[in-house]
């Protein structure tokens, strides 16, 4: 199982990914990147007003229920990614939910027959 230590994501395959921050995030398009800005919920090392101990930064005033919903949302995105990887069986652009654009192979382009499409509507000033 993957582990994150000292800003390095260590995978069971032995691969290591150096991170700038301390987290990995997934977007709605299932693209993966670093999510190192702890601006939703984070630990404050120093308390304002010289209070003892550490505190929490929760600028959006999220409740426990809000945070559970956020966790469920992110878990679902990771599960969707796993399902798409299983579906396509390899790294494929379609895992992001976008179909590949088909481009003709060289020499197989559609020949232009020289015919033009008739315009069935008369052009004229718009009313």
Q: In this predicted model, what pLDDT tens digit does every residue of 47-88 receive, in sequence order? A: 666 566 678 888 899 999 999 999 999 999 999 999 999 999
- What pLDDT score was predicted for residue 107? 54
More confident position, 87 or 97 = 87
Residue 106 CA to chain centroid, in angstroms? 34
Q: Which two tokens stand for residue 50?
A: 């010289």
pLDDT at 113 over 50: no
Domain assignment of residue 113, yes or no: no
Taking the CA atoms of 115, 118, 119 and 124 in sequence, report the sign of the dihedral they define.
positive
Q: Tell me the pLDDT of the chain averaged across its residues.
A: 77
Domain assignment of residue 15, yes or no: yes
- What pLDDT score was predicted for residue 123? 46
Domain assignment of residue 18, yes or no: yes
Domain assignment of residue 101, yes or no: no
13 and 3 Cβ atoms separated by less than 8 Å = no
> Could you list the residue range(s) of the whole structural domain that residue 66 is in?
3-89
In sequence order, which ranges of 89-110 are alpha helices (DSSP H)? none
Q: Which of 38, 12, 14, 13 is nearest to 25 (CA)?
A: 38
pTM over 0.75: no
Domain assignment of residue 28, yes or no: yes
**Helix, strand counts (H, E) of the chain:** 1, 7
- What pLDDT score was predicted for residue 36? 73
For residue 56, give the 3-state DSSP assignment.
Answer: strand
| Eight-state DSSP code of residue 13 | T
For residue 104, give the 3-state DSSP assignment.
Answer: coil
Domain assignment of residue 124, yes or no: no
Domains: count for the chain? 1
Q: Which two tokens stand for residue 81?
A: 């990614």
Domain assignment of residue 111, yes or no: no
Domain assignment of residue 66, yes or no: yes
């Amino acid at each position: 199982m993957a582990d994150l230590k000292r800003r390095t994501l260590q995978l069971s395959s032995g691969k290591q990914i150096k991170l700038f921050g301390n987290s990995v995030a997934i977007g709605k398009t299932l693209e993966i990147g670093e999510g190192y800005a702890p601006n939703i919920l984070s630990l404050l090392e120093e308390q304002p007003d010289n209070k003892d101990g550490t505190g929490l930064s929760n600028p959006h005033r999220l409740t426990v229920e809000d945070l559970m919903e956020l966790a469920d949302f992110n878990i679902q995105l990771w599960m969707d990614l796993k399902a798409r990887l299983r579906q396509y069986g390899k790294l494929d652009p379609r895992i992001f939910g976008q179909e590949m654009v088909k481009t003709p192979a060289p020499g197989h382009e559609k020949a232009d027959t020289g015919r033009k499409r008739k315009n069935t509507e008369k052009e004229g000033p718009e009313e």
